[in-house]
Amino acid sequence: MATPPAVAVGSLLEPVPDAGALVVEIVAGRQGLGRLVRSPHVQKTGLALAGFPEYIRSGRVLVFGESEVRFLESRDVAERYAIAEGIFAHDVPCILLTAGLRPVPELVDACQTAGVPLLLTATSTGTAIAKLTARLEFHLADRATVHGVLVDLLGLGVLILGESGIGKSECGLELISRGHRLVADDVVEVRRRAESFIDGTGLASARFFMEVRGLGLIDIQALFGISAVCTVKQIGLVVQLERWEDRAEHERLGLDDQWYALVGVRLPLVRMPVAPGRSVATLVEVAARNELLKAQGYNAARTLTSRLRGRMHVEAASGGGDAE
């Protein structure tokens, strides 16, 4: 059984791509920064404070805005401690106070005793939740590593797959020489974002380096400039390079959509047979352009098929006739 993803509270305080800065102050429970967050969804439940702690979901960050803080301020000391005890009976990784609000002393004492980090931020509640959610989605997203080449081709992330030695890197290098951008070569790290999107990137230690048989390792950024590389790109098309086999059946019309499953998301797939004399880079570029047209609602194969069927119906209705 797979272990559910989790992230330590301390890791949430570090900046991540596309999440924006969230400046926080740790006022209590610093020893609990290793506590684990297990859900990308935060919770902001006033019911827990009003005597219904069963509404607290384990593994989620608990956010206190103005309504929660004002409620605690209206309670007496004994009731504040009782509320904190009810909260910490559950697996609460940490508590985040937003909008520059200050916690009541009893909450600070309870967090320190329980080892639950109490975090303060001057950011408004809505913005703080959005930034924190972005961090959680980044850390808790489904991830995988694939062997291939990822390029940014006309704004479309194209993942080129195939067996070792089939020419993935050479194809990627040709595309780069035509003005497209390299994201990753050989090892592509993929991450699911927002349920139906997949981002790809390269290993940080070998980013923008490419291995080409006969040349060895080359630095794409140093050779072609900063405009030839891209750090992260959403994947919109998978191209599977395959050895040409005379007896194998390959797509001729493109009427049937093919899909490639990656970390639980289906991506458009093109199977590309490789043979001497075929310009694979040109074919991949055309496949990307065709996919962009499909995204705009135009499918060349279906358009032509529809025209031919219409012509056949007209001829059948008129009793046939010579083609023009």
Candidate list 76, 246, 247, 252, residue with the active-site label: 252
Give the integer Cα–Cα distance in Å for 118 and 166. Answer: 54
For the residues of 143-211, what is the DSSP string, one character each?
A: EEEEEEEEEEETTEEEEEE-STTSSHHHHHHHHHHTT-EEEEEEEEEEEEETTTEEEEEE-GGGTTEEE
Residue among 255, 258, 253 at smallest CA distance from 240: 258
Candidate list 60, 168, 180, 181, residue with the active-site label: 168
Q: How far is CA 81 from CA 27, 64, 123, in A?
A: 17, 16, 27
**Rounded to 5 degrees, what are φ and ψ at 173?**
-65, -40
Indicate the length of the chain as a whole number.
324
Instruction: Please confirm, yes or no, whether 131 is among the known catalytic residues.
Output: no
Find tokens 């509404």 and name the residue: 55
Candidate list 147, 307, 311, 313, residue with the active-site label: 147
Name the token pair of 54.
Answer: 């069963």
Instruction: Please confirm, yes or no, whether 186 is among the known catalytic residues.
Output: yes
Instruction: Please confirm, yes or no, whether 18 is among the known catalytic residues.
Output: no
Candidate list 142, 186, 207, 271, residue with the active-site label: 186
Instruction: Please confirm, yes or no, whether 252 is among the known catalytic residues.
Output: yes
- Number of Cβ atoms within 10 Å of the Cβ of 194: 9
Task: Write out the catalytic residue numbers.
Answer: 147, 168, 186, 252
